[in-house]
């Protein structure tokens, strides 16, 4: 198990994009479970600053808010979704980000419980 974990950590460190798992609580609230990638080096924000969906809305341009909201609604409904959003980095620079989400349906809970 330790070797598998070390191998996964090595592979994830080589990926320039971000990989994440977002949990979706029964009340519909999204919470970041984990994220890999150099978020701080790319955006200037620490991963800890981006653990909630509300924090994502604070760092994206207003014209991307509706795009992200519709994306989240599709994910909760169980639909794979991919969107492009305009991110405002801490230094004020503009970055374009593509978000892909694959919702995972939990039969026991009878709902989507997370997305990766």
Contact 115, 103 (CB under 8 A): yes
Coil, helix or strand at residue 65: helix
Q: Which residue has the higher pLDDT, 41 or 96?
A: 96
**Token couple for 11:** 């592979």
Give the CA count within 13 Å in the CB-facing half-sphere of 24: 22
pLDDT in tens, 39-79: 888 889 988 888 888 999 999 999 999 999 999 999 999 99
Rounded Cα distance, 9 and 102, in Å = 21
Tokens of 23: 């949990």
pTM here is 0.80
Sign, Cα dihedral of 77, 103, 71, 46: positive
pLDDT band at 12 (very low <50, low <70, confident <90, very high): very low
pLDDT recorded at residue 48: 86
Q: Is 115 exposed, middle or buried (0-12, 13-18, 19+ CB in 10 A)?
A: buried
Which has the minimum average pLDDT: 30-44, 62-76, 94-108? 30-44
């Amino acid at each position: 198990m330790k070797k598998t974990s070390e191998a996964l950590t090595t592979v994830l460190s080589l990926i320039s994009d971000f990989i994440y798992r977002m949990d979706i609580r029964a009340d519909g609230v999204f919470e970041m479970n984990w994220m890999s990638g150099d978020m701080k080096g790319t955006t200037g924000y620490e991963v800890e600053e981006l653990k909630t969906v509300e924090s994502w809305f604070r760092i994206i341009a207003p014209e991307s808010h509706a795009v992200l909201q519709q994306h989240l609604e599709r994910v909760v409904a169980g639909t794979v979704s991919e969107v492009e959003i305009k991110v405002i980095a801490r230094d004020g620079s503009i970055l374009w980000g593509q978000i892909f989400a694959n919702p995972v349906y939990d039969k026991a809970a009878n709902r989507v419980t997370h997305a990766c």
